[in-house]
Amino acid sequence: MFQGSIVATVTPMRDGSVDEASLRKLLRFHRESGTSGVVPAGCTGEAATLTFDERMRVLDVCLEEVGEAMPVIPGTGSNSTAETVRLTKAAADAGAAGALVITPYYNKPTPEGQYVHYRTVAEAVDIPIMLYNVPSRTGVNMLPETVARLSEVPNIVAIKEAAGSVDQVTAILSLCDITVLSGDDPLTLPMMAVGAKGVVSVLANVLPGEVARMVALHAEDPDAARQLHLTLRPIMKALFVETNPGPVKHAMAELGLITTGELRLPLVEPGEESRQAMAPALETARKLLAS
């Protein structure tokens, strides 16, 4: 389940509400494009500004559209352990295949606090848990030693590693056999070279077929995978010219994949300078989608 190209889906918005029609269209696109799994309501899905009911509704839509075709692994994290338990239990009850749980943000818990937080969440449910380490969002790094300790909890089975360090992935895998997935599109191939099993991808929102093919080619034809990575790299970089998911939503709207690039405050759509900077990469993406 925790392998291949898993998409960190955006949450399409229209007039301040979740755009279910665009979300369903997007999910069908993934089902037809070789995506291995779906992660709704993570950072890319603007989970921090979705209500509890919205998060559950997004999950329900994902399960309805692709739940029989691929695992749906919603983000259920919060900076409150009690709220994380509530979200994760609700996701399990709804039929989620697993849950992605971000390191508590803002609180900056110590390694011991991280361990107790995750163990508490994992022990509250019987679905698999994927840790999510993204220091740029949370303000604190989850050390490899903490990951190794957590891997001993039976249903903590994977980690989305987005610290931006291949060495950190190497350290994790030297200490335990937890499944590692890249959380940084530009580092997917380097991380797979040291043992990661795939990616939870932002780029796959735009080019799911290409990301899935690159991950598969890593084992089958490394040179071809590298060439595809080089082709995709400018698009990967363009999707982070401003805070995610602003650029990827703009790209998707420009390419007709969702109706609008609307975000929920305090995020706003990319400025004119950023949109101009993205334009060449979007033209490349348009050609790839048409090919």
Asked whether residue 124 carries a pLDDT value surpassing 90, the answer given is yes
Judge whether 198 and 214 are in contact, CB under 8 Å. Answer: no
The answer as to whether 106 is a domain residue is: yes
**For residue 226, what pLDDT is reported?**
97
The answer as to whether 250 is a domain residue is: no
Active site residue 115: no
Tens digit of pLDDT for each residue in 28-40? 999 999 999 999 9
Number of domains in the chain: 1
Asked whether residue 159 carries a pLDDT value surpassing 90, the answer given is yes
Judge whether 8 and 244 are in contact, CB under 8 Å. Answer: no
The answer as to whether 238 is a domain residue is: no
**For residue 230, what pLDDT is reported?**
97
Tens digit of pLDDT for each residue in 1-56? 899 999 999 999 999 999 999 999 999 999 999 999 999 999 999 999 999 999 99
What are the backbone dihedrals phi and psi of residue 255, each rounded to the nearest 5 degrees, phi first?
Answer: -90, 0
Mean pLDDT of 177-195: 98
**For residue 1, what pLDDT is reported?**
87
Of all residues in the chain, the percent with pLDDT exceeding 70 is 100
CA distance 79 to 105: 5
Is the four-CA dihedral 171, 210, 135, 112 of positive or negative sign? negative
Buried b (16+ CB within 10 A) or exposed e, 149-170: bbbeeeebbbbbbbbebbebbb
Q: Give the domain range for residue 75.
A: 4-219
Q: Which of 105, 118, 160, 197 is catalytic?
A: 160
The answer as to whether 182 is a domain residue is: yes
Active site residue 118: no
pLDDT level of residue 170 (50, 70, 90 thresholds): very high
CA distance 215 to 217: 6
The answer as to whether 146 is a domain residue is: yes
Angle between helices 52-66 and 81-94 (to 10 degrees): 30
Asked whether residue 69 carries a pLDDT value surpassing 90, the answer given is yes
Q: Which of 115, 118, 132, 197 is catalytic?
A: 132
Is the four-CA dihedral 66, 122, 57, 5 of positive or negative sign? negative
The answer as to whether 102 is a domain residue is: yes
Asked whether residue 229 carries a pLDDT value surpassing 90, the answer given is yes
Mean pLDDT of 53-70: 97
Both structure tokens of 189: 């191939």
pTM: 0.96
The answer as to whether 245 is a domain residue is: no
Averaged pLDDT score across all residues of the chain = 97
> Residue 105: which CATH number?
3.20.20.70
Asked whether residue 291 carries a pLDDT value surpassing 90, the answer given is no
